[in-house]
Amino acid sequence: MRHWFEDQLEHPNPVWVRELRQSARLHRTPLILALITSMMALLICSVGGSVSVTLEPAKVGVALFHTFFSVAFALVSWLGPAVASSSIASERSNRTWEALLLTGLTPARIARGKFFSALTYIGLYLVTLAPVGALPFLFGGVTPTEVIIAFVLMALVAALSVAFGLAMSSKLSSPAVAIIVTLVLAIPGSMFLFLLLGPALSISVHELWPSVDAGPPIWLPAAYVRADFGVEYLVLLVLGPLVATVIPGWLLFEVTVSNMSDPSADRSSGVRRWFLVSAPAITATLAAFVAVIPGRSGPTVAAVTLFCFLVTVAFLFMGEPLWPSRRVVETWQHTQARMLKSEIWWSRSSIRRFLGPGILQASSLLLVLGLSVIGLLVTCLLAMRLPPIRIRQVLAVNGYLAGFFVFVVGLGAWVRSRAHSSVGPRMLMIAALFSITVGPWIAMAIAGVVSQTDKAVLVAAPSPTFALVMSDALTTHAAGWQERISAGAMAAGGWTVFGAFLLGAARVRVRRLHSDHQRSLAELEALL
């Protein structure tokens, strides 16, 4: 580690250095910083002057604290993506991207340089706003530790915002389009997360730790200071934020590197490594949440969350090529010859090929690891010694979602095998899943009107949301609950068989297309 730090100090990232030198030459940067700081100071003074008439100093400090960091969150979550979204796209529009590649820098190193340069620029705003943010604890009600923790959390939000902007910039070629698309996604998304993770989540946190107030948006710094230290503290305030920060940030970085790489290069291994680490990490975090948070719906919420994560990865893997390019295959063969006698297991050709490009490898990895983490979640939940009725709910919900997950993997592989790009298959996949989710309930409503019986709900068994009906049936034991469980089990079995058939059909088609492609290349080489 000491050698790594010394190397970074002596030989910093050249892209980072170039971006900093360009920013230092701009005369508008100090003016923008001074203007934003002055506006923030005037806002804080206005709020403090208006509330100090009716409130005591301690409450004035709390109001200023939440006002400042709410505005800082909006500034960071909107300005960070806007600054980062034009960095890579501007290189392509100015026709300097090829010159940057000719320097010999890898796409990963270029992405790190762009990330640190944008993050440094956003960090300047946080540094200049620090004196204004320190005003609240002068009134009381807020400790200096809470202010420091809030600034650290703002830095983490800035890092995620910059990573999101870079991922968008790496996909688009026009800076103007990149900024517009990024802001259109960032502004409503940040507002939704602010309301969900702020005032809404603070109510549940107040029930667990009464010392943390319910309702204010910036409650996490107070929770770090005032909450009782224990298992709940480690899981909810350490493990949860760590996973929620590292996993999305790592994915955005790998997506950025993949978009910056040449189409014939290996653009899949980074995302595959991310999935190998993130799937068990998210599963363990969900199991820990269920263990420390009391509630009957905890196991069901954990199962649905894990299923949504796996479906998202399925859409991500649909961007895979049908098979590895000749350039990637040549690289594998060269590495295999060079590492033939190596004892390093991750350098072996079989592992590199499995993590390399190809829709078949991606589908196999997703299917095996996805079913494994679902089984891991079930094992962790059963080890918590739940009541028998909760155990049956866990088995029913996870069993149905596991069967439907096999269908999702098979459908994604089959649709991708019949197209040369990933945009069309993804849109078709969205339409298919939406129809499968909503269609059975529409049919159930029609059948209920016609038959006027309670058995009409069985028509909705093919919908993946029927797993919640199975969970409710096991809880209430209402009339016909056994029929609902049987219908759900049959639907899950049908989805499993259908998914396996689609996956096999995709495998046959991809191998046939690959053989035809190889035969065409061989004929062309023979003619040459």
Q: What is the pLDDT of residue 331?
A: 79
Closest CA relative to residue 465, chosen from 499, 488, 490: 488
Closest CA relative to residue 307, chosen from 428, 400, 392: 400
- Contact of 456 with 448, CB cutoff 8 Å: yes
Which two tokens mark 71? Answer: 């505005």
- Give burial (CB, 10 Å; 0-12/13-18/19+) of 520: exposed
Q: What is the pLDDT of residue 345?
A: 47
pLDDT in tens, the chain (528 residues): 888 788 878 888 899 988 888 877 778 888 888 898 899 999 888 888 888 888 888 888 888 999 999 999 999 999 999 989 888 888 888 888 888 888 888 899 999 999 999 999 999 999 999 999 888 878 878 888 999 999 999 999 999 999 999 999 998 888 888 899 999 999 999 999 999 999 999 998 998 899 888 888 999 999 999 998 989 999 999 999 999 999 999 999 999 999 998 888 888 889 999 999 999 999 999 999 999 887 778 899 999 999 999 999 999 999 889 888 888 888 777 766 665 555 554 445 567 777 888 899 999 999 999 999 999 999 999 888 888 888 888 999 999 999 999 999 999 999 999 988 888 899 999 999 999 999 999 988 887 766 656 677 888 899 999 998 888 888 777 777 888 899 999 999 999 999 999 999 999 999 999 999 999 989 998 998
Which two tokens mark 172? Answer: 């688009």
Q: What is the pLDDT of residue 346?
A: 46
Alpha-carbon distance of 153 to 219, in angstroms, equals: 11
DSSP reduced 3-state for 453: coil
**Considering the entire predicted model, what is its pTM?**
0.91
Q: What is the pLDDT of residue 127?
A: 92
Alpha-carbon distance of 374 to 310, in angstroms, equals: 10
Q: What is the pLDDT of residue 342?
A: 52
Q: How far is CA 492 from CA 42, 139, 362, 464, 466, in A?
A: 60, 60, 23, 9, 10
Q: What is the pLDDT of residue 454?
A: 67
Alpha-carbon distance of 111 to 15, in angstroms, equals: 9
- Contact of 374 with 308, CB cutoff 8 Å: no
Helix ranges restricted to H, 344-479: 349-354, 359-382, 388-417, 423-451, 466-476
